[in-house]
Structures are given as C-alpha cells and as structure tokens.
Amino acid sequence: GPDAIQTDAVIVGAGPVGLFQVFELGLLEVKAHIIDSLAYPGGQCIELYPDKPIYDIPAVPICTGKELTDNLLKQIEPFGATFHLGQEVTTVLKQEDGRFFVETSKGTQFLTKTIFIAGGVGSFQPRTLKVDGIDKYEGNQLHYRVRNPAQFAGKNLVIVGGGDSALDWALNFCAGNADGSANKAESVILLHRRDGFKAAPASVAKMRELCDAYEMQFVVGQVTDIVEADGVLTDIKVTGGDGVTRVMPCEQLLVFFGLSPKLGPIAEWGLALERKQIVVDTEKFQTSVPGIFAVGDVNTYPGKKKLILSGFHECALAAFGAMPYISPDKRIHLQYTTTSPKLHKVLGVE
Ligand code: FAD
C-alpha cells in the first residue's frame, strides 16, 4: 500500500540471531527493520531460558539467556534498527520491481530489497485448550493472554494453568489479595490438572493462603466440556483427579498453558523447505528465492548445528551476500572493527 515502509532490509525474528543480523548489516551501513511476534526481543533465550547459563558463546565464559539478549541489544544500539514487536509476519510477496512486499498481523507493511528470516523454531503462540466447541469464544469469554485487565473486573473467573502466568493473574484478580491492583474480579477459581505448580514458591504460598481465607478457590482437574445457552458460555465441565466430572459456572475463562513455537506463515512463502526448515546455501545463506536469506535455527544445510554461534557466523555472510541487492554498484570490502576509521564512525566510537 501507499503507507508501506520502504527499506533495504527486513529481519523476521528478534531472537539472538535476528539481533546479530542487525549488527552485521549495520557494519555495512544497512539499516534494518526487525519484527517479532513476541512483545520483547530475545527469542528462545528469553522465552525458554532467561535465567539459565550459556557456556558456549565465544569469549563469553558464562552468561544467562537474558544477559546475552541485553548485551546484543547494547551491541546493536548504534545501528538504530526499528523494532516492530508483538506482530507476526504473515505475508511475503515478490513485487515486479524485484522488491518484496511484507505485511504483519497488525497490518504494518514494508517494501524491502532483502529479507533475513531469523524465525528460529517458529513464532511463539499460546498453547490452546482442546475442548470441542470452545474455539468460537476466543477473545470474548476465552482468553490466552490478558491485554486489558479492566475487562475482568467484577467478573467470575476461572483461570487454568500451573505456571507463573496462571498464578500471577489469579493473585492479581483475587479481591482478597491486598496488592493494590485495581481490577479485582467477583470470584477467582484456579484450575490445574494436579496439585503441584511450576511457579514461584512465594506465589503458590500466597495462593494457598488466599484459599484458606476463602478469598479464592483452587480445584484440581481439567476442562473436558462446556455448557452453552443462547450462544453464551455459561459453565465448564471439569473432570477431577477422582474421575468425576462436575459443572463449574464460568463467565470468563483464562487459560495459561505456556507458549509453543509454530513455524506458521513462513511455510507459505514459497521457499524450499526440508523437514520444516528453510534450505540455504553456505556461501550466502540465501534461500531458494534470491534476495531472501535465512539464518539461525530456521535454516538447514549439510552439517547444520542449531547453535547460537553458528547463527552469528551465518549473519555475517548473509549480510555480505545481500549487498548486491541493496547497493549493486557499491564495492564492499571486509574491514576490521579494531582499525577501520569508517567502522568506528558507523559504530559511533571515533
Ligand atoms: P529463536 O531464538 O527461536 O528466535 C526466533 C524468533 O523469531 C522468535 O522470537 C519468534 O517469535 C520469531 N518469529 C518466528 N516466526 C515469526 C514470524 N512469522 N513473524 C514474527 N516473528 C517470528 N544454543 C547455544 O548455542 N548454546 C546453549 O547453551 C543453548 N542452550 C539452550 C537451552 C535451551 C533450554 C534451549 C531451548 C535452547 C538452547 N540453545 C542453545 C539453542 C538456542 O537458543 C537457539 O539456537 C537460538 O535461540 C536460535 O536463535 P534464533 O534467533 O535463530 O531463533
């Protein structure tokens, strides 16, 4: 469309490898737009293991997933990449002029000379509740994320799950919890398939305290069916650990089963795939479509190892490989960051 952002490079995915792609393009004086379906950068490092130590980043003996992400963000700061977070890239179409039209789930549009897919194991999506007939209530009475806490004030809530999200929201909405949150529900039932949690012990203790005070309720069981009246979800059926199914009134159902990655729309962009990975060469890490490159966990080639350090190397070669599409007349030389006055200028360290 006429409002499309015109750019040299779009990076799909802001995991560690997408972030380092910003750096390698930046050294070649290419500004990038970077998009992620998550609301924050870091990919698997942030979503799956923020506090776990990584030991095999060259010259960094130990750092956590969060530290690696923070350091990458600091390292790419000079290059002023534009972040578009909380939106999934849905569409990639080749234009007649050789550029690509890219669109996200939020309607952000780009016209770009090159694309770097750093989509990792896919875009993270909430795991859904598998119960017949329940999908049509999503966004209305069934929720996998809380966008607007005020919409749950004064409602009867059933919150499903045993992790930090489920516990945090149950406590947040519980009227008996004096934490200052403004959006207290009428009632809160926490539902989990077992009496054991993968959440901060302090939250679990607080939840039990509130249950003992009759401020909220904890039930062991799973949602197995729903009860509807005139197109409205009125109750859920919950099968308990004892095998008995009971009816539980429910105005709003909030489900927190964690996020799972899905390759998703990337599979539909006409790129050669092998076992859900994008086939690339090892000279430029280019896909079967000239001008589209793929780096990090999302690609495959003989000998591929899904390691962060491999992804970093791929970024460097992909950036050089993309220059003929971005600046066909420019001669590109390899320069050292230690000694090149030009790179010092680009890095803002002169
Ligand atoms: P990811 O980190 O998966 O990031 C991809 C991003 O792309 C995601 O944020 C996703 O939301 C986004 N995305 C995908 N599709 C779209 C789309 N269509 N639109 C918008 N956004 C999209 N590696 C090591 O080298 N050393 C280790 O010690 C190590 N430990 C690990 C421990 C665990 C528990 C796990 C799970 C992995 C570990 N890894 C380790 C692997 C490492 O995390 C991955 O190799 C690395 O995260 C890959 O980076 P990436 O940027 O390619 O992809």
The residues lining ligand 1, judged by C-beta closer than 6 Å to any ligand atom, are 12-18, 35-38, 43-45, 48-49, 54, 56, 88-89, 118-124, 264-266, 296-298, 306-309, 311
| 40 and 139 inside one domain | no
Q: Which of 212, 237, 257 is the last residue of a domain?
A: 257
CATH number at residue 153: 3.50.50.60
Instruction: Find out whether 44 is annotated in a ligand binding site.
Output: yes
Separation of alpha carbons 219 and 156, rounded Å: 15
Instruction: Find out whether 40 is annotated in a ligand binding site.
Output: no
Ligand 1 centre from 313 Cα, in Å?
A: 15
Separation of alpha carbons 167 and 81, rounded Å: 36
Ligand 1 centre from 187 Cα, in Å?
A: 38
| 142 and 214 inside one domain | yes
Q: With bands split at pLDDT 50, 70 and 90, how would you rate the model's confidence at 124?
A: confident
Where in the sequence is the domain holding 180, given as residue range(s)?
Answer: 128-257
Q: For position 71, what pLDDT does the model report?
A: 98
Instruction: Find out whether 297 is annotated in a ligand binding site.
Output: yes
Which of 210, 222, 221, 253 minimizes the C-alpha distance to 235?
Answer: 253
Ligand 1 centre from 215 Cα, in Å?
A: 40
pLDDT surpassing 80 at residue 180: no
| 219 and 275 inside one domain | no
CA atoms within 13 A on the CB side of 6: 5
| 264 and 121 inside one domain | yes
Greatest CA span in the chain, whole angstroms?
74
- As to burial, measured by CB atoms within 10 angstroms (0-12 exposed, 13-18 middle, 19+ buried), residue 11 is buried
pLDDT surpassing 80 at residue 336: yes
Which of 334, 280, 285 minimizes the C-alpha distance to 21?
Answer: 285
**Structure tokens, 300:** 């495959």
Using DSSP, state whether 291 is helix, strand or coil.
coil
Nearest Cα residue to atom 52 of ligand 1: 296
In a mutational test of the pocket of ligand 1, which residue from 44, 263, 273 has the highest number of ligand atoms less than 8 Å from its CB? Answer: 44
Separation of alpha carbons 317 and 273, rounded Å: 20
Instruction: Find out whether 69 is annotated in a ligand binding site.
Output: no
Instruction: Report which ligand 1 atom has the smallest distance to the Cα of 47.
Output: 9
Ligand 1 centre from 16 Cα, in Å?
A: 7
| 48 and 96 inside one domain | yes
**Structure tokens, 257:** 């089963």
**Structure tokens, 187:** 């009632």
pLDDT surpassing 90 at residue 326: yes
Nearest Cα residue to atom 37 of ligand 1: 44
Q: Which of 233, 257, 281 is the last residue of a domain?
A: 257
| 176 and 206 inside one domain | yes
Ligand 1 centre from 311 Cα, in Å?
A: 10
The predicted-structure confidence for 68-110, as pLDDT tens digits, reads as follows 999 999 999 999 999 999 999 999 999 999 999 999 999 999 9
Q: Which residue has the higher pLDDT, 341 or 176?
A: 341
CB 144 within 8 A of CB 256: yes
Over residues 180-193, the mean pLDDT reads 93
Q: For position 126, what pLDDT does the model report?
A: 86
Ligand 1 centre from 308 Cα, in Å?
A: 8
Q: For position 234, what pLDDT does the model report?
A: 96
Task: Summarize the chain as % helix, strand, coil (round to 5).
Answer: 25, 30, 40
| 139 and 227 inside one domain | yes
C-alpha R_g of the chain: 24
| 205 and 272 inside one domain | no
Q: With bands split at pLDDT 50, 70 and 90, how would you rate the model's confidence at 292?
A: very high
Q: Which of 202, 233, 257 is the last residue of a domain?
A: 257
Q: For position 47, what pLDDT does the model report?
A: 87
Separation of alpha carbons 23 and 80, rounded Å: 10
Which of 243, 228, 141, 238 minimizes the C-alpha distance to 191?
Answer: 238
Ligand 1 centre from 241 Cα, in Å?
A: 36
| 253 and 132 inside one domain | yes
Over residues 136-140, the mean pLDDT reads 94
pLDDT surpassing 80 at residue 1: no
The percent of residues in the chain predicted with pLDDT above 70, rounded, is 100
Instruction: Report which ligand 1 atom has the smallest distance to the Cα of 56.
Output: 26
Q: For position 224, what pLDDT does the model report?
A: 97
Q: For position 175, what pLDDT does the model report?
A: 84
- Report the number of distinct structural domains present in the chain: 2
ipTM of the assembly? 0.99
**Structure tokens, 242:** 């004892």
The predicted-structure confidence for 238-277, as pLDDT tens digits, reads as follows 999 889 999 999 999 999 998 887 888 999 999 999 999 9
Instruction: Report which ligand 1 atom has the smallest distance to the Cα of 263.
Output: 15
Instruction: Find out whether 101 is annotated in a ligand binding site.
Output: no
| 274 and 323 inside one domain | yes
| 249 and 238 inside one domain | yes
Nearest Cα residue to atom 48 of ligand 1: 297
Nearest Cα residue to atom 11 of ligand 1: 123
Q: For position 33, what pLDDT does the model report?
A: 98
Ligand 1 centre from 159 Cα, in Å?
A: 29
| 141 and 100 inside one domain | no
Using DSSP, state whether 70 is helix, strand or coil.
helix
**pTM of the predicted model, to two decimals?**
0.80
Over residues 17-34, the mean pLDDT reads 98
